[in-house]
Amino acid sequence: MGAGPAGSMASKDSGPEGRELFGIADLAEEFGITTRTIRFYENKNLIHPARVNGSRVYTRRDRARLALILRAKTIGSSLVQISHFLDLYGEQGEGRAEQMDYVVRETTKAIAELEMKQELIRDTLKELREIRQGCMERLPGYTPADNSHKV
Amino acid sequence: MGAGPAGSMASKDSGPEGRELFGIADLAEEFGITTRTIRFYENKNLIHPARVNGSRVYTRRDRARLALILRAKTIGSSLVQISHFLDLYGEQGEGRAEQMDYVVRETTKAIAELEMKQELIRDTLKELREIRQGCMERLPGYTPADNSHKV
DNA sequence: GAATCAATTGACCTATACGTCAAACAGTGA
DNA sequence: TCACTGTTTGACGTATAGGTCAATTGATTC
């Protein structure tokens, strides 16, 4: 089965931010990934775009969801983990206390894991800064507390 | 080619911390990974244990290196990235200014990337806490600012 | 209405990071 | 000495995360 275009002629606006609906190529370009990757995520049930004439159409919510996925990936989560993540983000609306309790427990776990990662990163950063500092001191033309070209 | 044991009878001490040398199984157990994983890392040139009668023998430095690898993995680095990481950790000793300069540049890049990840995690944590908070408020028996069973 | 162009599904391929045997071999204890 | 345990290399299998190609289809343009 094929589908139609959703090319440069956007559904409503043409600005990159004022848009409401997006084609798969738009999102791919915006996030610097391939359409294959986006379709792969859909296959893994991470995003559920609408279909128009067989073509995928993404809302802002879909786009935000994709952004969440990519952010989580950068942090080091697997797609399976991300899938559970996304459930938490979606589930807040309503639901019985049972569901709420579940979300509370899961978010608590996720928070704990991220806090641990945060600590590991902090430690690593400290070490890297020490290494860099040690190197700089051995570099010719070094003067202690050289903040002349500080960032 | 085969090899000999390095079993429960440790090279020197038997305590888990006072040790100086370790067998592959010791490290595997200590870090909760398999020996296969450790051998895989060696195959990728991430660790270079000594050999005694064909069997791998790990020093404290090797053990620290393995710890670095696993920490970096948790943070979300690939083994290739970790390989470069480890080069930086090893290279600080001496070397010409050229090498020092290289290390300074690479550590700077690594630091920037980690700082970015740190921010992403901060953002995610903030959102997760909000979600959890929102759920808790909808939970029965909730009283605002309920710190009665705080961690 | 034929060409073109973007998008679709399906199939197969790739790289990473290991898991899982299998066969061989080295020490140790009985 | 023989069995047993732990280790070695090698080979193959698996899960994840996509890349790449092919054939098709649908909307737009000429």
* ipTM for the assembly: 0.87
- Number of structural domains in chain B: 2
Q: Do A131 and B74 touch (CB under 8 A)?
A: no
pLDDT tens-digit profile, chain A (151 residues): 455 554 444 444 445 567 899 999 999 999 999 999 999 999 999 999 999 999 999 999 999 999 999 999 999 999 999 999 999 987 666 667 778 889 999 999 999 999 999 999 999 999 999 999 999 988 778 887 656 555 5
Q: Do A71 and B134 touch (CB under 8 A)?
A: no
Instruction: Check whether residue B30 and residue B67 sit in a common domain.
Output: yes
Task: Provide the residue range defining the domain that includes A131.
Answer: 100-136
pLDDT tens per residue across span B17-28: 678 999 999 999
The residue among B41, B76, B111 that closes a domain is: B76
Alpha-carbon distance B52 to nearest alpha carbon in chain A (angstroms):
32
**From the candidates B92, B116, B124, which should be mutated to test the interface with A, based on the most A CB atoms within 10 A?**
B124
In a domain, A146, yes or no: no
Nucleotides of strand D under 7 angstroms from a protein beta carbon: 5-9, 16-21, 23-29
pLDDT tens per residue across span B70-106: 999 999 999 999 999 999 987 666 667 778 889 999 9
In a domain, A21, yes or no: yes
Give long-range contacts, CB 8 A cutoff, 24+ apart: B17-26: B19/B60, B20/B59, B20/B60, B21/B57, B21/B58, B21/B59, B22/B57, B22/B58, B22/B59, B22/B62, B22/B63, B23/B55, B23/B56, B23/B57, B23/B58, B24/B49, B24/B55, B24/B56, B24/B58, B26/B58
Q: Which of A77, A97, A120 sits opposite B140 (nearest CB)?
A: A97
CATH of residue B70's domain is: 1.10.1660.10
pLDDT tens per residue across span B33-45: 999 999 999 999 9
In a domain, B39, yes or no: yes
The reported pLDDT for the residue numbered A10 is 42
The residue among A91, A110, A128 that closes a domain is: A91
Instruction: Check whether residue A57 and residue A85 sit in a common domain.
Output: yes
Q: Do B134 and A92 touch (CB under 8 A)?
A: yes
Contacts of B74 in chain A (CB under 8 A): 76, 116-117, 120
In a domain, A76, yes or no: yes
Instruction: Check whether residue A60 and residue A104 sit in a common domain.
Output: no
